[in-house]
Amino acid sequence: MVTVNRALPGGAAAELLAVAMIPPSDSLLKYDTPVLVSRNTEKRSPKARPLKISPQQPGPSGPVPQPPKSKLPSTASVPDPTKQAEEILNAILPPREWVEDTQLWIQQVSSTPSTRMDVVHLQEQLDLKLQQRQARETGICPVRRELYSQCFDELIRQVTINCAERGLLLLRVRDEIRMTIAAYQTLYESSVAFGMRKALQAEQGKSDMERKIAELEAEKRDLERQVNEQKAKCEATEKRESERRQVEEKKHNEEIQFLKRTNQQLKAQLEGIIAPKK
């Protein structure tokens, strides 16, 4: 964190009261007036190290890692309660930094005690922002989660000013909630990845089954064609054998008739030979 030089020369001191500077995105967390930390009007070399901008309120897009165990100032070593509250607030809610026109600005959370009207105003601002940003009332909504996270940070700030120990306890509660949400989000992403893998496997298995079905249908059509050919051959054979049988039966009947006539003629001749002898 960059240390603010509050004993700035005349030209820089005037910059502290400038209102032309546009602050970062509005937040439900109450901040003090932005302070100019450094001013760089010279052209930086390509190999120069860029300024680091500390992130603002953590967004709901990714998992929230476990916060580092920062060493908070001991209440026994800091005799001034106001300074103690400011240092604890800076440890719980770090100041935000941003660069604008090669100027580094820093903005710390407000250490002004809050009144009942501030809490009422906070509730009104929360409802207004939920309506303006069209946050969903139910289900998973990153916008609603972000706004409620800012509101919780503001409540921690208000409580910490009055009681630092209570604020630190609320900080533990906030970090535990974030870690729980991060665990659920990791589990959800893992489940989605598992589902995608299963879907791809099912799609690949579907392609294999469709190919196998096409092969089996082609084999079925080939077998049906062979069956039809065999049926045609069988019908042709039956027809040919039926015609041959009819021909043979006709020929057999003619032979029988011929033999019968021959037998009758022989009988007649035999009777004609025997009769004169008597």
- pLDDT (average), residues 260-272: 86
Task: Identify which has the larger pLDDT, 231 or 100.
Answer: 231
Would the pLDDT of 232 be above 80?
Answer: yes
Least confident segment among 4-8, 65-69, 244-248: 4-8
- pLDDT (average), residues 221-233: 94
Confidence label for 80 from pLDDT (cuts 50, 70 and 90)? low
Q: What is the pLDDT of residue 229?
A: 94
User: How confident is the model over 172-221, as pLDDT tens digits?
Assistant: 999 999 999 999 999 999 999 999 998 888 888 888 888 899 999 999 99
Q: What is the pLDDT of residue 217?
A: 94
Mean pLDDT of the chain: 77
Task: Identify which has the larger pLDDT, 215 or 4.
Answer: 215
- 134 near 147, Cβ under 8 Å? no
User: How confident is the model over 156-167, as pLDDT tens digits?
Assistant: 988 888 888 888
Q: What is the pLDDT of residue 180?
A: 93
Q: Which residue type, as a one-letter code, is found at position 276?
A: P
What gap in Å lies between CA 63 and CA 147, rounded to an integer? 17
Would the pLDDT of 5 be above 70?
Answer: no
Q: What is the pLDDT of residue 17?
A: 35
Confidence label for 40 from pLDDT (cuts 50, 70 and 90)? low
Q: What is the pLDDT of residue 29?
A: 83
**Residues contacting residue 29 through CB under 8 Å, at least 6 positions apart:** 57, 93, 109, 150, 153, 154, 157
Would the pLDDT of 4 be above 70?
Answer: no
Confidence label for 45 from pLDDT (cuts 50, 70 and 90)? very low
Q: What is the pLDDT of residue 51?
A: 40
Of the chain, the end-to-end C-alpha distance in Å amounts to 161
Least confident segment among 27-41, 110-124, 264-278: 27-41
Q: What is the pLDDT of residue 67?
A: 47
164: burial class by Cβ within 10 Å (0-12, 13-18, 19+)?
Answer: buried
Would the pLDDT of 137 be above 60?
Answer: yes
Would the pLDDT of 15 be above 70?
Answer: no
Confidence label for 25 from pLDDT (cuts 50, 70 and 90)? low
- pLDDT (average), residues 112-122: 88
Would the pLDDT of 144 be above 50?
Answer: yes
- pLDDT (average), residues 114-128: 90
